[in-house]
C-alpha cells in the first residue's frame, strides 16, 4: 500500500486535519471542508439546512472538482448531513467514517447496505451531557417544574397540582444500555435511583454495567416497564425499534411515568404517545428528538401540551466536548493501514 487518499468533508479544525495526516506517512489528506455544502443544501430539506449549516460560508467548487476528489478517494470522513449519492461517485471507496453516532443517518443514502465499510462514533459522542439531560428531565417533571410555566403565564399558583415526587429509590428503565445508556444508568444510580434496562441480547452472563440492578434482553421490555417510574429511550433506530414505544409499551407503563427520548423520534409512536397523554397516563415527556425532525417542526399537539418538553436535538451539546469520534477515526485509520478489523463497524443486517 503506497498511499491512502483520505477525503475530509466536514468542517473540522486545522488541528484535527493535521492529526489525521500524522497517523501514517502513507496518508494523503484531501481537504474538501465545505466543498459539498452547496450539494447538501440542494438535497436536504430546508429545515435541516437551516439547523445544521445555517448561513455559514463555504468555498466555491465545481461539480467536476467534487466528482474528481470523490473518484480517487479510498477513505472518506463525513459529518452531518451526509451526501446522499456518495457511493455512486466514488469508484475506489473502501471505507467511510461518520463523526456522528447514528447508523440511521445513512437510511436515505446510497451507502446503506452497500459494499463499503462504514463506521460511526456510536458510544463515543458526548455521553455525560446526554446523561445530564436525562436526569434534568427526570427532575423537571418529578418536581413539577413544567407546571410553573403555566402558573407564570396565568400569574396564579395552583399549589395542589404539583405533587412532587422523590427520585431516590424510584426505578429508571434505560431502553438500550449501550455507551450512552450506560452513562445514563450510572448518573441515575448516583442520584439514588434503581436502574434497570434492556440491551439487544441482555448481559449474556456478563457482569452488569456500573449502576444497573438488572439488565435484560430486548424482549423483556414490557416487563421492565411495569416496574419503572421513569423511562429513557437510548437504543438505535432500526426496523426492529421503529415504534418500539407504542401502544403496548404505554399500556405496560405505570401511571404517572416520565418518558425521555434522546435517540430518534421514530422509536416512539407519536399517535400512541398522544393517546397516552390524553388518557392521563404520563406525568411528563421530554423529547430531544421527534418524528420528522430533519424536515419540519414538531407536531403542534405535542408542543402545546404542558406535560411535554421538546428540545432541538441538543442533549449532547455542551461547553466541554467529550466527543471521541475523531480519536476513533484516527485509531481506525491506523488499523485500516495495518489490515486489522475496524471498530464500530455498521452491521447492515443489525442496522447499527
How many of the other CB atoms lie within 10 Å of CB of 18? 10
Q: Is 349 contained in some domain?
A: no
CATH of residue 242's domain is 3.40.50.720
User: DSSP readout, 12-57?
Assistant: --HHHHHHHHTT-TTEEEEE-TTTTHHHHHHHS-HHHHHHHTTT--
Query: What's the domain range around 285?
Result: 127-310
CA pair distance 182, 25, nearest whole angstrom? 38
Task: Show the cell assigned to 82.
Answer: 451526509
- Say if residue 98 is in the same domain as residue 142: no
**Active-site residue set:** 264, 295, 313
Radius of gyration of the chain, Cα coordinates, nearest whole angstrom: 22
SS3 content of the chain, % helix, strand, coil (to 5): 35, 15, 50
Backbone angles phi, psi at 318, to 5 degrees: -160, 170
CA pair distance 340, 116, nearest whole angstrom? 16
Q: Is 234 contained in some domain?
A: yes
Strand partners, 201: 217
- Say if residue 143 is in the same domain as residue 69: no
22, burial (CB in 10 Å: exposed 0-12, middle 13-18, buried 19+): exposed
- Say if residue 163 is in the same domain as residue 306: yes
How many structural domains compose the chain?
2
Backbone angles phi, psi at 148, to 5 degrees: -65, -30
Q: How many CA atoms lie within 13 A of 153 on its CB side?
A: 5
Strands 171-175 and 212-217 turn out to be unpaired
- Say if residue 167 is in the same domain as residue 120: no
Q: What is the pLDDT along the chain (352 residues), one digit of tens a residue?
A: 689 999 999 999 999 999 999 999 999 999 999 999 999 999 999 999 999 999 888 888 999 999 999 999 999 999 999 999 999 999 999 999 999 998 999 999 999 999 999 999 998 888 999 999 999 999 999 999 999 999 999 999 999 999 999 999 999 999 999 999 999 999 999 999 999 999 987 666 678 999 999 999 999 999 999 999 999 999 999 999 999 999 999 999 999 999 999 999 999 999 999 999 999 999 999 999 999 999 999 999 999 999 999 999 999 999 988 889 999 999 999 999 999 999 999 999 989 8
- Say if residue 111 is in the same domain as residue 195: no
Q: Is 317 contained in some domain?
A: no
Q: Is 278 contained in some domain?
A: yes
Q: Is 315 contained in some domain?
A: no
Amino acid at each position: 500500500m503506497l498511499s491512502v487518499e483520505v477525503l475530509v468533508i466536514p468542517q473540522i479544525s486545522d488541528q484535527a486535519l493535521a492529526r489525521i495526516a500524522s497517523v501514517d506517512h502513507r496518508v494523503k489528506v484531501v481537504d474538501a471542508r465545505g466543498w459539498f455544502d452547496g450539494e447538501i443544501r440542494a438535497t436536504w430539506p430546508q429545515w435541516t439546512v437551516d439547523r445544521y449549516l445555517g448561513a455559514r460560508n463555504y468555498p466555491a467548487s465545481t461539480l467536476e472538482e467534487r466528482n474528481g476528489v470523490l473518484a480517487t478517494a479510498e477513505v472518506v470522513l463525513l459529518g452531518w448531513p451526509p451526501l446522499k449519492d456518495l457511493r455512486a461517485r466514488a469508484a475506489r471507496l473502501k471505507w467511510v467514517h461518520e463523526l456522528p453516532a447514528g447508523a440511521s443517518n445513512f437510511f436515505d443514502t446510497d451507502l446503506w447496505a452497500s459494499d463499503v465499510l462504514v463506521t460511526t462514533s456510536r458510544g463515543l459522542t458526548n455521553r455525560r451531557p446526554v446523561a445530564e439531560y436525562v436526569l434534568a428531565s427526570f427532575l423537571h417533571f418529578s418536581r413539577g417544574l413544567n407546571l410553573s410555566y403555566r402558573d407564570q403565564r396565568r400569574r396564579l399558583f395552583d399549589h395542589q397540582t404539583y405533587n412532587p415526587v422523590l427520585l431516590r429509590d424510584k426505578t429508571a428503565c434505560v431502553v438500550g444500555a449501550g455507551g450512552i445508556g450506560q452513562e445514563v444508568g450510572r448518573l441515575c444510580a448516583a442520584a439514588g435511583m434503581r436502574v434497570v434496562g434492556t440491551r439487544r441480547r441482555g448481559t449474556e452472563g456478563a457482569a452488569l454495567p456500573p449502576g444497573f440492578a438488572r439488565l435484560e434482553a430486548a424482549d423483556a421490555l414490557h416487563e421492565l416497564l411495569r416496574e419503572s417510574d421513569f423511562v429513557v429511550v437510548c437504543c438505535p433506530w432500526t426496523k426492529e425499534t421503529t415504534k418500539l414505544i407504542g401502544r403496548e409499551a404505554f399500556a405496560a407503563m405505570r401511571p404517572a411515568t416520565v418518558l425521555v427520548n434522546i435517540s430518534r423520534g421514530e422509536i416512539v409512536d407519536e399517535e400512541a404517545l398522544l393517546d397516552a397523554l390524553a388518557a392521563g397516563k404520563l406525568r411528563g415527556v421530554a423529547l430531544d428528538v421527534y418524528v420528522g425532525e430533519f424536515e419540519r417542526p414538531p407536531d403542534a399537539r405535542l408542543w402545546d401540551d404542558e406535560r411535554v418538553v421538546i428540545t432541538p436535538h441538543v442533549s449532547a451539546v455542551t461547553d466541554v466536548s467529550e466527543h471521541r469520534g475523531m480519536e476513533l477515526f484516527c485509531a481506525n485509520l491506523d488499523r485500516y493501514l495495518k489490515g486489522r478489523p475496524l471498530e464500530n463497524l455498521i452491521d447492515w443486517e443489525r442496522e447499527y
